Amino acid sequence: MRKYLSLALVASLAFACSPEEKTEVIDYTQLSDEERLEVATEIAQNTIMVDGHVDLPYRMKVGGFTLQREVLDVSVRTPDGNFDFPRSKEGGLDAPFMSIYIPAGLQQTPGSSKALADSLILMTERLAETFPDKFAMAYSPADIEKNFAEGKVSLPMGMENGSALEDDISNVEYFHGRGIRYITLTHGKANLIGDSSYDTVRLYNGLSEYGEQVVAEMNRVGIMVDVSHVSDETFKDALEVTKVPAIASHSSVRAFTPGFERNMNDELIQALAKNGGVMMINFGGTFIDSAYAAGANKVREHLVNYLAENNLSRRDSAAQAYIAEYTAANNPFPTVQRVADHIDYVKNLVGIDYVGLGSDFDGVGDSLPTGLKDVSMYPNLIAELLKRGYTKEEIEKICYKNIFRVWKAVEDYAASQS
C-alpha cells in the first residue's frame, strides 16, 4: 500500500511542478505494468472522467424488472450490465452521459417517441432523487465539477435519436428544459431530420430542411449536435449548418472497420476537428475491430444451428452453458489495446484536442474488449495510454477537457442568442 501511495505522490508532484521547478519527470513507459496501473488508477480517481454514452436508462426500463425486486438498483453492485455506482467509483467514472435511447421503430407511431423520451428522463431523475448521496443530475460542466467535489456520480443526459422531437421544432427547447444536453440526430433509420448510417434508404441524401432547422435550433437553445449514427452526407450537412462545435458521442475509426459507415472515416474526423468538435471513442467490439465483427458473425451462425439441431432455446440452462463456453472459446475479442489504437489514430491524424471517451456501455452487449468489460476498468485504458507515452495533460483532455470545451462553447453561443 505504501509503495502505491509513494508512487502516486511522486507522479502528482512531477505533474504539479511548474516548468521552472520541475527537476525530474517520470517516464511512465519505463515502469512495470503493475506500477503503471497504480498510477493510472490514481489519475482516474483524481481526474474528472466523462463518458459520452452509457445506455443505463434503457437497460433499467427493459431489463430492470424481476420477481425479486421492483426495479434495477444500480446504487449497489449488480450481477450483470456494465454500469453501477460501486464499479463507477472503482473506475473513476464521474459523468456518464445517460443515453435517452429512442428505438427507430417507434417513429411509425406518432407521439410514442416523445413519450418514451419523457419516461426515460423521469427514470434518470428518480435515480438521482432516490440516491442523492451517490448520484446527481448535471446540466452543465459546472454541475459536474460541483458533483465531483462532493464525490457524486453526475447524470448528464443525451437523447439518442432526434425522432423524439416528432415534427414539432418547439420540442427542441422543450427537451433542453427537460435536461437534454445533446441530441443524436438519427439512429438506425432515417427520420424527419436526416439519413442514418445504418439505413440503406436515403430519403434526403443528408439533412432534410426540417433537420437544418433542428440543428439551428439546437445551437440557439444550447444542445450539442451529435453526429454519431448519421450517414456521411448528413454528417457533412450538419457541420455546414451548425455555428458551434459538434460531437460524435460514441463513434470509432472506420480505418479499423472498412465499409462500416457507422464509424468515421478520415475525411469526417478531419472535418469534425476543423469544426472544433470532439470524437468520443466507442468501445464495442464491432466498432473497434473488423476481425471481431467477422468472428462474431461466425459464432452467431454456429449457435443458431446448434440450438436448432438440439431443439433448444436460448433460455434453456443447457443452451446458456454451451453458449457461454463456445463464445468464450471462439469469439476473437479485441483488447483494451485496440481502443488505445483508435485514440492514437485520432491523435495522430488531427491532434489530442479532438478525442474523448464514448464507451456505449450497457448498449453493445457482450462485445466489449478484454480489459474494458465494465465501468470499473477505465484505469486499464489509462495505463495503456501511459505505456504509449501519453502525458497526464493529454489524458485529462481525453477524459473531460475536450468535451467540456465543446459544451462550454455551445453554452456560450446559446447565451449570446438570448
pLDDT per residue over 343-375, tens digit each?
999 999 999 999 999 999 999 988 899 999 999
- Selection from 378, 344, 337, 335 nearest residue 358 by Cα: 378
pLDDT given at position 363: 95
Residue labelled with grid coordinates 443447457: 318
CATH tag, 49-289+342-417: 3.20.20.140
Distances in Å between the alpha carbon of 86 and those of 90, 107, 221?
A: 6, 36, 35
Contact 178, 121 (CB under 8 A): yes
Which are the contacts of 98, defined by CB distance < 8 A and separation ≥ 6? 54, 56, 57, 124, 155, 156, 157, 158
pLDDT given at position 64: 54
Which residue ranges in the chain fall short of pLDDT 50? 1-19, 21, 23, 65-69
pLDDT given at position 325: 87
Instruction: Provide the grid cell at 268.
Output: 469526417
Which ranges of 47-111 would DSSP assign to H, the alpha helix?
56-63, 85-91
**Domain locations along the chain:** 49-289+342-417, 295-333
pLDDT per residue over 194-224, tens digit each?
999 999 999 999 999 999 999 999 999 999 9
Element (H, E) at 196: none
pLDDT per residue over 19-75, tens digit each?
454 545 689 999 999 999 999 999 999 999 999 999 999 999 886 533 344 568 999
| Residue 238, Ramachandran bin (φ over 0: left; ψ between -120 and 50: alpha; else beta) | alpha
Residue labelled with grid coordinates 517516464: 27
Distances in Å between the alpha carbon of 27 and those of 46, 219, 238, 390?
A: 20, 43, 42, 10
- Pairwise CA distance, residues 366 & 299, whole Å: 13
- Pairwise CA distance, residues 230 & 236, whole Å: 10
- Judged by DSSP in three states, 373 sits in coil
- DSSP E strands, 270-338: 278-281
Question: In terms of pTM, does the model score above 0.85?
Answer: yes
pLDDT given at position 364: 93
Element (H, E) at 213: helix 209-221
